[in-house]
Chains A and B, each alone.
Chain A
Amino acid sequence: MNSWLLELQRQPEHDIDASAISLLALAQISDADQVKRLHLQCGDDVCAVGELFSVSKMPAENELQLVGDLSRFHRLGMQHRSGRMTIQGNVGNYAGTMMSGGEIWIAGDAGDFLGAPVAGFRSGMSGGRIVVGGSAGNHVGHRMRRGEIFIEAAVKDFLGSHQIAGTIVVAATIGKSAGYAMRRGTLIVNQPPVLSRTRFSDPIEAFSVIGPLLERQTKAWTSAAAPPQFACKNVIGLLNRIAEDGFVSIRGDFAVGGQGEILFPR
């Protein structure tokens, strides 16, 4: 399994479909020139990876590192299933779309539909972990089925919409309509969300050790696996508050017969 470092040399003029930059594909390639020749959809055109990135091999095992502001690169980490992708910068929409395993670490901000399915598909993220060091856009974890998403800063509207299962932790503010049509799964936020009283339950205070479990296991995983630039401080801080002070839970979305839960500290 080869590891690659791709450093952005120039910003593209159009939005890029970056689904071809996948660790699964690149890990099988041993020649840098072959990586440079990979085609990316660039607006109505195609361009080669080598036209935008410098490509070099890394000594690590099964890892793909991308450096630069990739806000115009969409579908990064599509169907990612093992190994680690780290992005030193921002990413566009649909990062980690339909991933089923492995890790994606994003140092900057993520666009809309993080971990969500691309059009025409029903199932979103079904395993693995995504960590975002900055903020994220709308529809984070849309149709998520399994896995974990940790976001250090704020997210926009429709967090966890149509979520089926899995865990999303947002350490800062969230936008409107969180948990819209969620069936199961857990959203952990740092303040009481504004929700429809008909679709979600009143807040419930109850005893459970799931808070301490989440906090300890996340802390253990991040301290063992986090690349040096990713501290995950805010997420760990929020989980720590939930572990120590307990949490309040809101259940729903009753409009779809959902049993999802939105947790926030007491």
Chain B
Amino acid sequence: MDEFFHINNVRIDATFAEAFDMKATRLIVTANDRQWATDAAAAMTGFGTSVIACGIEIAVERELAETETPDGRPGVAILAFAVSGKEMDRQIAMRAGQCVLTCPTTALYAGIEETEPKSDKRVPIGKTLRYFGDGHQISKMIGSRRYWRIPVMDGEFVCDHDVARVDGIGGGNLILIGNDVNAVTTACRAAVQSMRPIEGVITPFPGGVTRSGSKVGSKYATLFASTNNAFCPTLRTVDPSTQLMRDESVVMEVVIDGLSDQAIAHAMRMGIHAAVDSQTDGGLLRITAGNYGGKLGRHHFHLAEILK
């Protein structure tokens, strides 16, 4: 990488993160107390790190206060991203049915504000789950919103009929490079922590961070993604495509999905500042971003521009 600049002695490459279009939606889980709400949200967002094998990228966006939820109970907002509407429908229906419907006292609501006229791109929730009621389910229209009430063993499970599906962006990223695992961990955690309050973004990997960043394609025909060998330290001296320099022995990536370009750019900016300000004792050496030369996605987040 030829062009770069420094913030707090950490090199920032003048490169860009390449992101692509996805289908997105937001769901709101509420429950009688925060524990049940977070338990249901944790179950629903489990195994939802990457569309490579999970089918969906899904994570908690933020916790919601009682005043912010449709039924006045503690809640959690969840953002979900998928590559197709069909896969989104399948994943949401399965996860809502097995993870939220099953959790005591919960309810599940649409979290995307309705437009006028109503968008015809919909992700079914109660539309699918209602059949669990075996004929005892009740549809209830309140205003223009249809809810389903499904009898369950603690009373009723209430959920929206469906939720609007919107355009989202997947694959915003920051790659943090250092010479010490603890230092890069600290920087990554600081970056992810700084992104948590931002509305409209999620970092779907464990703790918001992945160490197995991937490239598109593989030497094996059945795989459409494989290890990003250009950033693997053990291959630094043997792989001519390496992008690592001397002393760079640890790489971790923060992947960001968002509902808009602005939200992702804001999250990346906050993340970079938090990472370079964190206590890494010089162990964080460089911040760069992953791209495929602009061929994969139309959303390019140039680090130099978003830090202006």
Contact A146–B141 (Cβ < 8 Å): yes
Contact A207–B105 (Cβ < 8 Å): yes
Closest to B32 in A: A207
Closest to B151 in A: A206
Binds A, one of B65-73, B257-265, B266-274, B281-289: B65-73
B156 within 8 Å of A (CB atoms): yes
Known: A147-B141, A167-B141. 4 other contacts (CB 8 A): A167-B140, A213-B158, A217-B142, A261-B138
Bound form: Cα–Cα A207–B158 in Å: 11
Number of A-B contacts (CB under 8 A): 55
**What are 28 of the A-B contact pairs (CB < 8 Å)?**
A147-B141, A148-B142, A148-B143, A165-B141, A167-B141, A184-B138, A186-B140, A206-B155, A206-B156, A207-B155, A207-B156, A208-B149, A209-B71, A209-B107, A209-B158, A210-B149, A212-B71, A212-B72, A213-B70, A213-B142, A213-B147, A214-B142, A216-B70, A217-B142, A243-B72, A259-B136, A259-B138, A261-B138
| Majority secondary structure, B binding face | strand
Interface size class of A (residues with CB under 8 A): 20 to 34
Bound form: Cα–Cα A210–B140 in Å: 9
- Chain B positions within 8 Å of A213 at CB level: 70-71, 142, 147, 158
- Chain B positions within 8 Å of A218 at CB level: 142
B154 within 8 Å of A (CB atoms): yes
Q: Shortest CB–CB separation between residue A176 and chain B, in angstroms?
A: 25
A-B interface, 9 closest residue pairs, ranked by CB to CB distance from nearest: A207-B155, A208-B156, A209-B71, A212-B71, A206-B155, A217-B142, A209-B107, A209-B158, A212-B72
Contact A166–B72 (Cβ < 8 Å): no
Contact A210–B156 (Cβ < 8 Å): yes
Bound form: Cα–Cα A210–B155 in Å: 11
| Residue picked from B30, B107, B138, B156, most chain A C-beta under 10 Å | B138
Q: Shortest CB–CB separation between residue B183 and chain A, in angstroms?
A: 47
Bound form: Cα–Cα A235–B228 in Å: 62
A221 within 8 Å of B (CB atoms): yes
B145 within 8 Å of A (CB atoms): yes
Chain A residues numbered 141-193 whose CB sits less than 8 Å from any CB in chain B: 146-148, 165-167, 184, 186
The count of chain B contact residues (Cβ–Cβ below 8 Å) is 21
Chain B residues numbered 101-116 whose CB sits less than 8 Å from any CB in chain A: 105, 107
B139 within 8 Å of A (CB atoms): yes
* Chain B positions near chain A (C-beta within 8 angstroms): 30, 70-73, 105, 107, 136, 138-143, 145, 147, 149, 154-156, 158
- Chain B positions within 8 Å of A216 at CB level: 70-72
Q: Shortest CB–CB separation between residue A191 and chain B, in angstroms?
A: 22
- Chain A positions within 8 Å of B139 at CB level: 165
Known: A213-B147, A216-B71, A243-B72. A208 touches B142 (CB 8 A): no
- Chain B positions within 8 Å of A148 at CB level: 142-143
- Chain B positions within 8 Å of A207 at CB level: 105, 154-156
Bound form: Cα–Cα A147–B147 in Å: 13
Q: Shortest CB–CB separation between residue B75 and chain A, in angstroms?
A: 11
- Chain A positions within 8 Å of B145 at CB level: 217
Bound form: Cα–Cα A136–B92 in Å: 45
Closest to B149 in A: A210
| Residue picked from A146, A209, A212, A221, most chain B C-beta under 10 Å | A209
Bound form: Cα–Cα A157–B141 in Å: 25
Contact of A209 among B73, B138, B141 (CB under 8 A): B73
Q: Shortest CB–CB separation between residue B66 and chain A, in angstroms?
A: 10
Q: Shortest CB–CB separation between residue B215 and chain A, in angstroms?
A: 46
- Chain A positions within 8 Å of B136 at CB level: 259
Q: Shortest CB–CB separation between residue B1 and chain A, in angstroms?
A: 53
- Chain B positions within 8 Å of A165 at CB level: 139, 141
Contact A210–B70 (Cβ < 8 Å): no
Bound form: Cα–Cα A21–B247 in Å: 84
- Chain A positions within 8 Å of B105 at CB level: 207
- Chain A positions within 8 Å of B107 at CB level: 209
Closest to B72 in A: A212
Closest to B106 in A: A209
Q: Shortest CB–CB separation between residue B118 and chain A, in angstroms?
A: 14
Q: Shortest CB–CB separation between residue A178 and chain B, in angstroms?
A: 18
Closest to A249 in B: B156
Q: Shortest CB–CB separation between residue B15 and chain A, in angstroms?
A: 47
Q: Shortest CB–CB separation between residue A208 and chain B, in angstroms?
A: 4
- Chain B positions within 8 Å of A166 at CB level: 141
Bound form: Cα–Cα A1–B244 in Å: 67
- Chain A positions within 8 Å of B156 at CB level: 206-210
- Chain B positions within 8 Å of A146 at CB level: 141
Contact of A208 among B30, B72, B155 (CB under 8 A): B155
Bound form: Cα–Cα A206–B157 in Å: 11
Contact B147–A210 (Cβ < 8 Å): yes
Bound form: Cα–Cα A213–B159 in Å: 11
Closest to B137 in A: A259
- Chain A positions within 8 Å of B71 at CB level: 209, 212-213, 216
Contact with B along A210-238 (1 / 0, CB 8 A): 10111011100100000000000000000
